[in-house]
Amino acid sequence: MAKAKAKKNEGGITETIKTIVWALLIAGVFRTLFFQPFWIPSGSMKDTLLVGDFLFVNKMAYGYSRYSCPFSSPTFSPCPIEGRLFSSEPERGDVVVFRHPTQNVDFIKRLIGLPGDRIQMINGVLNINGEPVQLQDRPPFEEVKEPQGPQGLTPRCANDPVGFGGICLKGRQTETLPGNTPGEPGRSHDILNISDNWIVDNTPVFTVPEGQYFFMGDNRDDSEDSRFPQSAGGLGFVPKEYLVGRADRVVFSSAGRSLFYFWTWRADRFFKAVD
C-alpha cells in the first residue's frame, strides 16, 4: 500500500515537472518568435510613451536576428542566426525596440533616418535630406514634478525651477516626417522641447550608412540617441541585425514605483495604439 502511494506521488511529481518544462518551452518559443514584453524605464519617448507604460514588441515585424532570442549578447546567442531571417524593412516613423550596439541593453526610440538619408538638427528643428520637417504647435505637455517609475526619475521641465508637486511644462509640437514619395507627408507624432540651447539642437549632417538606421527620442532634449556618436558613449547608427521589433500598442500603464500600486494605474492608456 505504501509502495503504491509512493509511486503515485512520484508520478504526480514527474507530471508536474513535465508540465513546467513544456510551459517554459512554449513561453520561450512565444517570446522568441512573436512578442517580447517591454517596460518603459525613462522619459525619452514622452509624450508618445510614458514612464511605466508596458507593451508587447511585435518581433515578426522585421524578421529575426541573433538578438531575437532572450539572453543574447554580441558574443553569445541561443539563436545562431547570421544577419536576419524573413527580413522586412522598417518604415520611417516606426517606434522600434533594438539592442544598443555597445551597451548590450534594449532601447526604444523612433526611426528617423533610413539608409542613405541625411539627418541634421538646425536650431532644434529636424532636417531630413536637406528639408525641415513640418511642425505644428500644440498646447504644452504637463506633468507633476515627482519621482517616476521604479527608478524614481524626476522629469526635467522647461519652466524650471519647479518644486516637487508642481506642474512641469514642456513645449509640444506635432512633427510630420517626409513620406515615401517625394513631396508627400508621412507619419505624424508629438515631440517635446525643454531647452532652446541643448547640446544637439545643432548638429553636423549624419549620412546613414547602408544597412543601418538613425533613431531619436520624441522627448528631444532628454534622449540619448543617434545624435550622440558611439565614440562619445552614445548610440550612433544602429545596424539592421540589432532590431528586435516594433512597438504597436501600450497594454498596461502604471505611474507608480510598482505595478501593484493600483491607485497609480493609468486606465486611459490601456491598449492605447503607439503612433
Question: 215 CB contacts (<8 Å, ≥6 apart)?
Answer: 96, 98, 107, 109, 110, 111, 112, 113, 225, 226, 235, 238
Amino acid at 58: N
Contact yes or no for 82/186 (Cβ under 8 A): no
Residue 79 in grid coordinates: 539563436
How many Å apart are CA 172 and CA 64, to the nearest integer?
35
Active-site choice (42, 44, 65, 253)? 44
Please pick, among 59, 109, 145, 170, the residue that the annotation labels catalytic.
109
C-alpha of 179 from chain center: 22
- 109 is known as an active-site residue: yes
Measuring CA to CA, how many Å separate 94 from each of 78, 187, 203, 275?
27, 9, 23, 8
> What does the alpha-carbon distance between residue 148 and residue 154 come to, in Å, rounded to a whole number?
6
Distance CA(13)–CA(28), nearest Å, equals 22
Question: E strand or H helix at 128, and its extent?
Answer: strand 125-128
- Cα→Cα distances 118→61, 99, 188, 203, Å: 25, 23, 19, 12
Beta partners for residue 56, in sequence order: 37
145 catalytic residue (yes or no): no
Which residue type occupies 229? P
Cell of 75: 558574443
Tell me how far apart the alpha carbons of residues 10 and 14 are, in angstroms, rounded to a whole number.
6
Any idea which residues carry the catalytic annotation? Answer: 44, 109
